[in-house]
Amino acid sequence: MVTDPTGPWPTWRDAWSTALYGPGGFFVRSRPADHFRTSVHASALFADAVHELARRADLRTVVDLGAGGGELLRHLHAADQDLHLVGVDLAPRPDDLPAAVGWRADLPEQVDGLVVANEWLDNIPCDVVEADQDGVARTVHVEPSTGAERLGELCTDPWLGRWWPLSEPGTRAEVGSARDAAWSDVVGRLGRGVAVAMDYGHTMDTRPAFGSLTSYQHGREVPPVPDASRDVTAHVAVDSLPADRVVDQRQALGALGISGERPPLDRAHDDPRGYLRALSTATEAAELTARGGLGDFVWVVSARGVPLLL
């Protein structure tokens, strides 16, 4: 790593944005399910929990922000065909999505309903910074085709000093101000409704010393290279986001009736088929709530005009 602010390499934020969302970008031409597994792909129980949250808040519209292949919307449509469902994604509308489900490239100006952003914020590009040999935070520039890096200009974003201060040489951070602004914009569009962001995240006392920037490609974690061939992602500083409540996924799903508790063994004798169904459900729920896995996802919740139900 060398200090050179004058070279032609872009910042990580610019390269990341082009790699994911530019012409031919990863998310413009790829479906997330082809490269990594989310709660939506793990079990239909996740969609059941989203449906239950909408029901309890008496919301008949659900907007899936970063809808990918439309998996969540398909589950919700199958469960309740009276819901007004809208997918928001830059990728083309999936061919097999039910005709009643809406699809658009941007969020509506106002949403009266439930907005779900599952693994959306972690793909909002942000500047990557590193403390140089003097402990000064400098913006990291990257060569898009190889992922090679070098240090550039001083980082002057006040977010860094407030939320992720660096001083030890070699320590790194992802500057979350762009994510805070993106989520503030989502929450600001709520009329009567709830907005929930679900992501792997950290808080001030759990920040990773060397950041969390990484990539996924065809189901494997691979080195981060902003060449449009792979996902580029980083965990979210959830404590800096505007929120009414922040809970982990195991708490949120538990509050919505999703439990990984196994059915009583004696039920196997009285109702073997029912026992097997219940056991299968418990197994799926256990994956969604597992410590060290999907259960560690953080739900960032804001409500407007409805009770805070989580």
3-state secondary structure of 118: strand
Dihedrals phi, psi of 143, to nearest 5 degrees: -90, 115
How far is residue 94's CA from residue 77's CA, in Å, rounded to a whole number?
14
* Residue listed under structure tokens 């538990």: 254
Domains and CATH numbers, the chain: 12-258+291-304 (3.40.50.12710)
* Per-residue pLDDT at 292: 84
Residues 6+ apart with CB under 8 A from 271: none
Predicted confidence (pLDDT) per residue in 1-58, tens digit: 544 445 589 999 999 999 999 999 998 887 665 655 678 877 788 999 999 999 999 9
Question: Which residue is associated with the tokens 């106002």?
Answer: 110
Identify the bridge partners of residue 301 per DSSP, sorted by sequence position. Answer: 196, 245
Rounded to the nearest 10°, the torsion over CA 297, 302, 307, 310 is: 10
How much is the pLDDT for 5? 47
pTM of this prediction?
A: 0.89
Q: How many Cα neighbours within 13 Å face the side chain of 227?
A: 12
pLDDT of residue 147: 97
Low-confidence ranges of the chain (pLDDT < 70): 1-7, 31-37, 260-272, 274-282, 285
The first and second tokens of residue 54, run together, are: 């909408």
Cα(308)–Cα(208) distance, integer angstroms: 30
Q: Beta strands of 168-297 (E only): which ranges?
A: 172-174, 193-199, 201-202, 214-217, 220-222, 231-233, 236-237, 245-248
pLDDT in tens, 244-260: 999 999 999 989 988 75
Q: The tokens of 174 are what?
A: 């992802």
State the number of CA atoms in the 13 A half-sphere of 30 facing the CB. Answer: 21
Bridge partners (DSSP) listed for residue 190:
111
Which helix H or strand E contains 115, and what residues bound it?
strand 114-118
Residue 293: what pLDDT?
83
DSSP letter for 192, please: S
Q: How many whole angstroms from its chain centre is CA 307? A: 24
